[in-house]
Amino acid sequence: MYPNFYQSRVLKDKETFILAKTQLIKQKMKRFYHFFLVLALSSGFVKAQQKPAFWKEIQDFKHKDSIAMPSKNGILFVGSSSFEKWAALETVFKDYQAINRGFGGSTLAQANYYIADLVYPYQPRQVVIYSGENDIATDGVTAIETLNRFATFFNNIRLKYPEVPVLYISIKDSPSRTRYAATNAHTNLLIKDYLQHYPNTKFVDVNRKMLHNNALRPELFLEDMLHMKPEGYAIWIKEIKPFLVKP
């Protein structure tokens, strides 16, 4: 009798121990899954909060348009900081109904990414592009890849507006980016050749006009030796204006 009672007690104690251990494991697993779920949700929330590059700048353009939408059939200037920092652009080309949509540091790839907000709403009479410099200097892509990015942007413009004239301003060399001069020159040649196969296009070589005896002119640039002074923009105005489409 006693041995049987003892064995029964041992078995019950073992069952109790196993049950308690199982419950403990379940509790730990619950905590683990809860932690993992919170972590996953937090990660998803952070990702949802992250916006693509230049999202704010594009929202600023949209807000500006909501207050005063530019007239349709204007000339749209789209590109990087050489347009963004050209504060007098819309005034200089006022008679052409110029719309400045330059956003600093941007690339051709980013211009294409935002094309639905950056180009399409304005129904432009002409599109003027200065972009590609940052594709090379910031993204580090080759001349061929920069051409491909330009071609994608150009073709997406023409898909929406098949006959709109497109003017491309050559990539300029800058004293702070001399190591990219060869790639800039190669890219300019590729884009110039590419545009020759399409009607209503123009390649304007401003870079050549900004040189003296084939050398850069630092006096045309601000202290950062990247962005231009009014004297640099004066050259651009002279070179661009003859090719702008009048209203």
Closest by CA position to 81, among listed 167, 159, 172: 172
Distance between CA 127 and CA 77 in Å, rounded?
6
Could you tell me the pTM of the whole model? 0.81
In CATH terms, 55-243 corresponds, of 3.30.70.60, 3.40.50.1220, 3.40.50.1110, 3.40.190.10, to 3.40.50.1110
Residues shown for the chain: 247
Max CA pair span of the chain:
115
Closest by CA position to 209, among listed 242, 176, 246, 179: 242
| pLDDT value, residue 132 | 98
* 60-to-38, 64, 68, 118, 120 alpha-carbon distances in Å: 34, 6, 12, 11, 16
* Residues 77, 87, 82: CA angle, nearest 5 degrees: 55
| pLDDT value, residue 24 | 61
**Contact 187/140 with Cβ under 8 angstroms?**
no
Domain extent listing, the chain: 1-50, 55-243
Distance between CA 31 and CA 37 in Å, rounded?
10
| pLDDT value, residue 110 | 98
What are the pLDDT digits (tens) for 179-205? Answer: 999 999 999 999 999 999 999 999 999
Determine the residue type at 60: D
Distance between CA 135 and CA 224 in Å, rounded?
19
* Residue 11 DSSP SS3: helix
Strands (E), the chain: 75-79, 98-102, 126-130, 166-169, 201-204, 211-212, 215-216
What are the pLDDT digits (tens) for 121-166? Answer: 999 999 999 999 999 999 999 999 999 999 999 999 999 999 999 9
| pLDDT value, residue 32 | 52
- pLDDT digit string (tens) for the chain, length 247 residues: 445 555 555 555 555 556 655 666 666 556 655 554 444 444 444 444 689 999 999 999 999 999 999 999 999 999 999 999 999 999 999 999 999 999 999 999 999 999 999 999 999 999 999 999 999 999 999 999 999 999 999 999 999 999 999 999 999 999 999 999 999 999 999 999 999 999 999 999 999 999 999 999 999 999 999 999 999 999 999 999 999 999 9
| pLDDT value, residue 21 | 59
| pLDDT value, residue 46 | 44
| pLDDT value, residue 88 | 97
Distance between CA 73 and CA 144 in Å, rounded?
32
